[in-house]
Amino acid sequence: MVDSTTSPRIEKYKVGRIARVTREDNEQVLKDISNVNQPQPQCMKDLCAEYNCEEVQVKADGNCQFRALSLGLYGSEDRHAEVRANIVQHLRENAVSYFQFVEGDKKRVFADYVNRISHDGQWGDEITLAAFVEYYSRGVRVLRDSEKNSVIDHMREGLQEDAIMITYHGKGHYNGAKPIRA
């Protein structure tokens, strides 16, 4: 007798009511288990829908945070190098505001950090997001594929209305987000 109301399908045998999972069921179970720790695209879609935006894929080349910010500012990821250069310039000119966020011998380590971050392909981080907010006077709302802290705002007073939205996937990749027009 086949019980089609359960998933996976279980064949029941009259003697002792022994249940057996078919090979087809086993493949589905393994597929479901393999996705347990993977980002769930539907979660990001739902989060974007809640914030009235749509995720836009950007190139994953180490410049993704700057590409996502460029997309939010200019409608294109093509100006990511300009966004990076402006953030780096801001960090250099305002080291006193940022050096305490880098561990180690603060002044030397911060200079090394800024030099590293100035190169194409180097990942952006929380410090570069903070510098972006200050340089461009635009807030940034990061939608994350995490159950905890799924939204992180990088804002100054008065910047909430004009904030750029970007998405972050837990393995170190940012994408852009564009508003959905009603």
Marked catalytic residue, from 90, 154, 169, 173: 173
Active site residue 169: no
Marked catalytic residue, from 61, 112, 120, 162: 61
CB 22 within 8 A of CB 9: yes
- For the stretch 109-118, contacts whose Cβ atoms lie closer than 8 Å and that sit 24 or more positions apart, written own/partner, are 114/88, 117/84, 117/87, 117/88, 117/91, 118/84, 118/85, 118/88
Active site residue 48: no
Report residue 32 as tokens.
Answer: 């479901």
Given the structure tokens 């064949």, which residue do they identify? Answer: 11
Largest CA-CA distance found in the chain, in angstroms, rounded: 80
Marked catalytic residue, from 53, 64, 80, 169: 64
Catalytic annotation, residues: 61, 64, 173
